[in-house]
Structure 1
Amino acid sequence: MKLGSILGILMLATAIVYGEWKSSKEKRARIVSAGFTSVAAVVGIILLFQPRLPGPTQFVKLIFGSVDQFIK
């Protein structure tokens, strides 16, 4: 079941990168698009195995929570 999900994520990411690669003329935009899509695919695969990982808002709260208390 998870193997099918992993393959689906990878196929979708590959299709997105291919489409962006064909439509973009700039090398930098191609690299950035491929990088963001690759990171998102890796995060998606990690979340398949560890669905209880904290979200990005909890990460930001962890980092800036002490700054908020310090300002008050």
Structure 2
Amino acid sequence: MKWGVLLGSLLIILTMILYQWPKLHQHQKRDKFAFLSLSILGWILAILLIFFPDLPGPTQFVSWMYEPLGKWLAK
């Protein structure tokens, strides 16, 4: 079942890239790089969340990072 969801997300990412790539002009190298980078990072995140659905989210990471600062300021 997870492999079907994985292939479905790959199909969605490939459809997005194939639809948007011709709309980016040839001279927009930074835009193309940013588009591909964000698409690939999003797909990797989707893969991680498919196989490990209990991963902590970004808010939990920020709480973990700033918790010592909050305790220090509360003194």
TM-score, with structure 1 as normaliser: 0.86
State, as a whole percentage, how many aligned pairs show the same letter.
29
User: How many equivalent pairs are there?
Assistant: 72
The offset of 1:66, in angstroms, is: 2.0
* Structure 1 residue ranges without an equivalent (≥5): none
Which structure has the greater CA radius of gyration?
2
CA distance in 2, matches of 1:19, 1:67: 45
* Structure 2 residue ranges without an equivalent (≥5): none
Quick one: which amino acid aligns to residue 23 of structure 2?
S
The offset of 1:68, in angstroms, is: 3.0
Comparing both chains, which one has the higher relative contact order based on Cα–Cα distances under 8 Å and sequence gaps of 6 or more? 2
CA distance in 2, matches of 1:63, 1:19: 39
